[in-house]
């Protein structure tokens, strides 16, 4: 038998979730025929067959989590092991897991409860290991079980996070453990913008100008080696809310592109992100990120930086506010700005100067 393993579909990928099988056991497939689609941390990826042959066994069902290097398909003929397809290459020489596995919680000790209390828990469909014990010596009482049952009646069933939400939980936990965030805020007076000004593109251009002025924020920091890398080209991550989760495609080389080209590129990335058809390479390598959350609501935010990036800019909801204009109070349109930066590698002065340039560029008459 010849096994085809789940290849590495992206930087740092450890696992993927099976979305759809396109083949069945016993089917004969040809090289590059789609076998399965899997969901990685940010995209749904179609995996083609590495060769022709008859499928003897499929490892995993829809919804299963498959580790990188674990078997996906077993072919009925051929003795050699496959190392990957066009989407990745795996090193050989190490024994791989035998099957796709779900992540499991460590075993917990049995809860202390009398038989009658256990029977009540079974009747009410309450897991004793989730019940807070208030009885003597940590014993679970009938009242504890009834209280847990009442609490559960007001909530939906417990379900594991999957897809984008699962990836978000993992990335946010990693960011929280590593990044030392600090946030500065300001507001840009945009009353003099022309009618119908493209807000996102103005933000993109202003970020490019601010990165040129303060390169420290357009950088990567690798904490394991304590190395910072300043990056000349500005590849801007654009946060896109898809309803099912957040996807951050990358708009490349923003400082060197025209307004028309930037808008066309942004439209394409957003459409692909919402359709979940965006190529994995379009999700990698951002040097700094923009979250235009004001399109939904909110003024300021303490944003989350995803390593190895060092900064993220947030744009709040545009509103009319009374501000000082030429020494007099006036009602003007203002755009709230938030800049969260990794204080391990970016100083407060660098962040403040970045924000000054960002604000000044946005306040220029278009």
Residue 92 is assigned to a structural domain of this protein: no
Do the beta carbons of residue 73 and residue 53 sit within 8 Å?
no
Residue range(s) defining the domain that contains residue 37: 2-75
pLDDT value at position 91?
Answer: 33
Residue 91 is assigned to a structural domain of this protein: no
Single out the residue in 13, 44, 75 at which a domain terminates.
75
Do the beta carbons of residue 130 and residue 148 sit within 8 Å?
yes
Single out the residue in 123, 153, 183 at which a domain terminates.
153
Domain match, 316 and 211 both = yes
pLDDT value at position 88?
Answer: 34
Domain match, 173 and 70 both = no
Name every residue whose Cβ is closer than 8 Å to that of residue 354 and which is 6 or more positions away in sequence.
210, 211, 213, 214, 217, 311, 339
Residues of the chain with pLDDT under 70: 10-13, 41-42, 77-111
- Which CATH number does the domain housing residue 356 bear? 3.30.559.10
Domain match, 174 and 36 both = no
Do the beta carbons of residue 270 and residue 281 sit within 8 Å?
no
Domain match, 171 and 147 both = no
Report the 10 Å Cβ neighbour count for 255: 17
Number of domains in the chain: 3
Single out the residue in 47, 75, 103 at which a domain terminates.
75
Q: Can you read off the two tokens belonging to residue 189?
A: 């007076």
Residue 97 is assigned to a structural domain of this protein: no
Residue 148 is assigned to a structural domain of this protein: yes
- Provide the β-strand partners of residue 28: 54
Output the CA angle 170-171-173, nearest 5 degrees: 65
Using DSSP's 3-state secondary structure scheme, residue 134 falls into coil
- Which CATH number does the domain housing residue 23 bear? 2.40.50.100
pTM over 0.75? The answer is: no
Radius of gyration, alpha carbons of the chain: 26
- Provide the β-strand partners of residue 95: none
pLDDT value at position 79?
Answer: 37
Domain match, 65 and 131 both = no
Residue 103 is assigned to a structural domain of this protein: no
Domain match, 276 and 170 both = yes
Domain match, 336 and 192 both = yes
Nearest to 339 by CA among 361, 363, 310: 310
Residue 264 is assigned to a structural domain of this protein: yes
Residue 23 is assigned to a structural domain of this protein: yes
The Cα–Cα gap between 144 and 323 comes to 56
Do the beta carbons of residue 283 and residue 247 sit within 8 Å?
yes
- What is the tens place of the pLDDT at every residue in 86-132? 333 333 333 333 333 333 333 334 568 877 788 888 888 888 888 98
Give the long-range contacts of residues 25-33, CB within 8 A, separation 24 or more.
25/55, 25/56, 25/57, 25/58, 26/54, 26/55, 27/54, 27/55, 28/52, 28/53, 28/54, 28/55, 29/53, 29/54, 29/55, 32/86
Residue 339 is assigned to a structural domain of this protein: yes
Asked if the peptide bond before residue 308 counts as cis, ω within 30 degrees of 0, the response is yes
pLDDT value at position 11?
Answer: 52
334, 301, 236, 239: CA torsion to nearest 10:
-100
Domain match, 121 and 203 both = no
Domain match, 196 and 259 both = yes
- Which CATH number does the domain housing residue 122 bear? 4.10.320.10
Domain match, 136 and 182 both = no
Domain match, 136 and 170 both = no
Name every residue whose Cβ is closer than 8 Å to that of residue 90 and which is 6 or more positions away in sequence.
5, 7, 8, 68, 69, 83, 84
The Cα–Cα gap between 239 and 247 comes to 6
Q: Can you read off the two tokens belonging to residue 337?
A: 């700005």
pLDDT value at position 42?
Answer: 64
The Cα–Cα gap between 319 and 131 comes to 48
Domain match, 64 and 40 both = yes
């Amino acid at each position: 038998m010849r096994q085809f393993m789940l290849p590495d579909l992206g930087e740092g990928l450890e696992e993927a979730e099976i979305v759809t099988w396109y083949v069945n056991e016993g089917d004969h497939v040809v090289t590059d025929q789609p076998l399965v689609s899997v969901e990685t941390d940010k995209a749904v990826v179609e995996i083609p067959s590495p060769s022709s042959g008859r499928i003897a066994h499929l490892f995993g069902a829809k919804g299963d989590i498959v580790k990188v290097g674990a078997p996906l398909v077993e072919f009925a003929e051929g003795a050699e092991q496959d190392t990957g397809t066009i989407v990745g290459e795996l090193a050989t020489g190490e024994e791989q897991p035998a099957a796709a596995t779900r992540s499991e919680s460590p075993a917990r000790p049995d809860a202390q409860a009398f038989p009658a209390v256990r029977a009540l828990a079974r009747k009410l469909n309450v897991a004793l290991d989730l019940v807070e014990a208030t009885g003597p010596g940590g014993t679970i009482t009938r009242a504890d079980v009834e209280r847990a049952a009442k609490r559960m009646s007001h909530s939906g069933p417990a379900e594991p996070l999957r897809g984008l939400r699962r990836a978000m939980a993992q990335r946010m936990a990693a960011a929280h453990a590593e990044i030392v965030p600090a946030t500065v805020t300001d507001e840009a007076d945009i009353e003099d913008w022309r009618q119908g000004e493209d807000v996102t593109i103005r933000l993109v251009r202003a970020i490019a100008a601010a990165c040129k002025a303060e390169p420290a924020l357009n950088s990567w920091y690798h904490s394991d080696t304590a190395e910072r890398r300043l990056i000349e080209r500005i590849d801007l991550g654009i946060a896109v809310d898809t309803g099912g989760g957040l996807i951050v495609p990358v708009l490349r080389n923003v400082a060197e592109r025209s307004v028309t080209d930037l808008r066309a590129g942004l439209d394409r990335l957003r459409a692909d992100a919402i359709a979940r058809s965006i190529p994995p390479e379009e999700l990698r390598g951002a040097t700094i990120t923009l979250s235009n959350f004001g399109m939904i609501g909110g003024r300021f935010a303490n944003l989350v930086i995803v390593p190895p990036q060092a900064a993220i800019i947030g744009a709040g909801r545009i509103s009319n506010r009374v501000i000082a204009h030429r020494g007099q109070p006036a009602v003007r349109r203002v755009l709230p700005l938030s800049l969260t930066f990794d204080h391990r590698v970016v100083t407060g002065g660098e962040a403040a100067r970045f924000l000054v340039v960002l604000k000044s560029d946005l306040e220029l008459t278009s």
